[in-house]
């Protein structure tokens, strides 16, 4: 889980501390470890959906998906995940 958070922070161009602070600020009564797990899972689910969409758009071959640059989306995702807590 922590390796995944590290990879996400690198992809997002942010420090792990900055990302963890965002999670902490939005988690409400959820335990921090649980909030990180939920965030990591949701992040990779969204990334997989975006990659699938882009690989089937007729413009990107499946073997080129790893070369696609994605805009950072961690903060918006955190707002979506923890908006109800």
Query: Taken in order 54, 58, 63, 69, is the CA torsion positive or negative?
Result: negative
Q: What is the pLDDT of residue 50?
A: 77
pLDDT tens per residue across span 18-57: 999 999 999 999 999 999 999 999 988 888 887 766 655 5
By the 10 Å C-beta count (0-12 exposed, 13-18 middle, 19+ buried), 8 is classed as buried
Q: What is the pLDDT of residue 4?
A: 92
Tokens of 56: 């089937």
pLDDT tens per residue across span 5-26: 999 999 889 999 999 999 999 9
Global confidence as pTM: 0.68
Tell me how far apart the alpha carbons of residues 36 and 81 are, in angstroms, rounded to a whole number: 11
Tell me how far apart the alpha carbons of residues 38 and 60 are, in angstroms, rounded to a whole number: 29
């Amino acid at each position: 889980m922590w390796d995944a958070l590290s990879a996400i922070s690198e992809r997002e161009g942010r420090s792990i501390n900055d990302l963890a602070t965002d999670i902490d600020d939005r988690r409400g009564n959820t335990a921090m470890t649980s909030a990180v797990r939920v965030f990591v899972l949701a992040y990779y689910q969204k990334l997989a959906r975006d990659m699938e969409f882009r690989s089937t758009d007729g413009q990107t071959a499946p073997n080129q998906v790893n070369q696609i640059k994605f805009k950072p989306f961690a903060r918006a995702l955190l707002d979506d995940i923890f908006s109800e807590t």
